[in-house]
Amino acid sequence: MPNYIWAFLIALIVALIVTPGVIVLANKTGAMDAPDARKVHKGAMPRIGGLAIYAGFMAAVLTMLNFGELTEEVANGVKGLLLGGTLIVMLGLIDDYRNLPAKVKLLGQIVAACVVVFFDVRIDFITDPFGDFLYLEYLAVPATVFWIVGLTNTVNLIDGLDGLAAGVSVIASVTIFLVALQQEVMVVALFTAALAGSAFGFLRYNFNPAKIFMGDTGSMFLGFILAGISVIGAVKSAATIALIVPILALGVPIMDTAFAIIRRYRGGVPIFKPDKGHLHHRLLDLGFTQKQAVLLMYVISALLGLSAVVLNEVSGGMSIVIVACVLLVVFLGARKLGIFRLKAN
């Protein structure tokens, strides 16, 4: 079997085995998520499930990745991503126990992103739908840090219902995996297979009714790795995997975050102040159950992921049409749901 299949299976099995132990650990050490007015769960819940996702991912990558087959540039990038991912897990773990201030958490995310950049993982250029290059030059480092920190927080913010962040991350990982196979970027294929396997294994305990939450430990790690993987993909390929594919693959959390910023700005409240206006909150208000809302968002994510895969196969003009249609549908749907209106907690 190909290495990426083994990576998926190893990550899946490790996450399945480790998660029950993490549940016990969380209960004994007090890593519990208490309910409040903004959250939908009713009782205290273990919330360091990201440790199981991290364990599955690292076990798969370190077992199946042959550093000797990589170029020096890509090998350094992989080392930087694994080190930065470990730092982001440590940051998330502290936050799950201590509830760090938002500014402190953001600073920690920036430091982890800078570690990846230190290992020469940068977005040096982007491509437009017609294949033309736009070199970022002195903007490469801040653009890379912004990209990594931004995606880290988008997955973090969508983690509001049982199984939502884990399932969306699985779909995003599979999407980037398929595009990586199309472009024969095998290191990205292996990483995304490992990430999909670990998140899918954890989903066994996280889908409604959840036995454990991933916490910031897991949600930040998933976003961080997906962001870093896409940049490493850009090192190997000048095609759409560098930017557009990850944006579409993570379209649900990215758009939900963008709408939250617009909504809070229009309402005159701080951008980092939580509210109950996220997409999953709106679906619950419409009468959806948690399972129904999560499954609907899975479907939306899968359709966005499919459009990303198709985008990689079409010409420049057609890709513009696809992206424009996606944006139009998303905007109209968001207005219909009242995403842009601020709602009191």
d(CA 214, CA 221): 10
Rounded to 5°, the CA angle 215-230-171 comes to 55
pLDDT tens digit sequence for 238-256 = 444 456 777 878 877 787 7
Half-sphere exposure for 289 (CA within 13 Å, toward CB): 5
d(CA 190, CA 5): 8
Residue 267 has pLDDT above 70, yes or no: no
Mean pLDDT is highest, among 7-21, 35-49, 261-275, for 7-21
| C-alpha distances out from residue 233 to 59, 92, 184, 240, 280, Å | 21, 25, 10, 10, 31
Classify burial at 160, counting beta carbons within 10 Å of its beta carbon; exposed 0-12, middle 13-18, buried 19 or more.
Answer: buried
Mean pLDDT estimate for the chain: 83
Banded pLDDT at 334 (limits 50, 70, 90):
low
Say what the pLDDT of residue 111 is: 96
pLDDT tens digit sequence for 63-102 = 998 887 878 888 888 999 999 999 999 999 999 998 898 8
Query: 12: Cβ–Cβ under 8 A, 6 or more apart, which residues?
Result: 56, 197, 198, 200, 201
d(CA 324, CA 287): 30
Banded pLDDT at 345 (limits 50, 70, 90):
very low
pLDDT tens digit sequence for 275-291 = 666 676 777 777 778 88
3-state secondary structure string across 18-86: HHHHHHHHHHHHCCEECCCCCCCCCCCEECCCHHHHHHHHHHHHHHHCCHHHCCHHHHHHHHHHHHHHH
- The position carrying tokens 């000048």 is 238
Percent of the chain at pLDDT exceeding 90: 40
Say what the pLDDT of residue 239 is: 44
Percent of the chain at pLDDT exceeding 70: 79
Say what the pLDDT of residue 241 is: 47
d(CA 26, CA 205): 14
